[in-house]
Amino acid sequence: MKQILFQKKISKGSRFNQIYVPKQYDDFLQPGDIVEIRLIKKQTKLYYLDKRIKISDFKIKLVEDIFLFLQRKGIKQIFISGSFLYKIVGYNDLDIIIVSPKDNKKLKNELTIKFNQKFHIIHYTAEELDKGYKIDPLLRSMLNYSVSNSEFFLNSKRAVDKQLIRYYLMMPEDLLKLKLSFIHYIKNIMRLTTMYLFLKGKKIDIIKIHSEIKNLINFDYEDNDKPTKEELTFMRTIIRKKLRQIKKLL
């Protein structure tokens, strides 16, 4: 039998997805003939949960490859979030939220080996994610500014879990006494702003939060530097003020 080879894209149909056979093959391929189909390149569509997300071609390719890698492992819903999306250079690690019934502890290692990047993987079941989005300001801020491999509708309903908020307040409270590097103060000021917006029922906009922090902290710093006494006092004053505002709402 004569070998016929051509490449076509699968198109979406109302009941079935389909592949059209070009008319030029009419003599060889006719209705009723049995053919074999082989996948050559998987199409990955990216869904941006915030329209302002603009990432470089390199990052798009990396995200597509990561999604493909994880989809091949049977994971249906994946989100990429964090500094990778909003920092042009110098992102810390790739925050990946995986939604699947079971947590695969080996994934982190497999991803690191495959892509040579640092990963922070957070696993959720679909129910946990749904509940988490409702009660967890930090998860909400991550998902609001993320890229996903499939459509995802965010339920805007929110519920205040005081215990969870008080747990999240422990670190900023500790930073009033402990002396750590810059990044921890900055991250916790961001965390406090996120929680404040959540408790006020306002939209958590990570880009706005970043620009607010940039305006507040107007001195130069490296993430891992230890702040000076004056810088520390200044950041602790902000933390104290934000803690007070949040506690009033609890």
Partner 1 sequence: MNKRKGINEIVSLLCVSLRHEIGSKLIVNKEQALKYAKDANILFNNATKTVKKYNFNSKDKKELKEKLENKLFNELKSKDFINDQKYYLMEDEIVKVLKRLKLI
Contact residues toward partner 1 (CB under 8 A) are 122-124, 128, 131-132, 135-136, 138-139, 161-164, 166-168, 170-171, 174, 177-178, 180, 184
Token output for 167? 């747990």
Distance CA 235, CA 237 (A): 5
Chain length of the chain:
250
- CB of 106 vs partner 1, minimal distance in Å: 18
- CB of 61 vs partner 1, minimal distance in Å: 28
- CB of 54 vs partner 1, minimal distance in Å: 27
What Rg, from alpha-carbon coordinates, does the chain have?
A: 24
- CB of 200 vs partner 1, minimal distance in Å: 20
Distance CA 69, CA 67 (A): 5
CB nearer partner 1, residue 59 or residue 134: 134
Is the distance from CB of 206 to CB of 141 less than 8 angstroms? yes
CB nearer partner 1, residue 67 or residue 168: 168
Closest listed residue to residue 111, CA positions, set 149, 145, 146, 78: 78
CB nearer partner 1, residue 174 or residue 225: 174
Is the distance from CB of 195 to CB of 134 less than 8 angstroms? no
Distance CA 84, CA 169 (A): 25
- CB of 196 vs partner 1, minimal distance in Å: 17
CB nearer partner 1, residue 76 or residue 162: 162
CB nearer partner 1, residue 55 or residue 124: 124
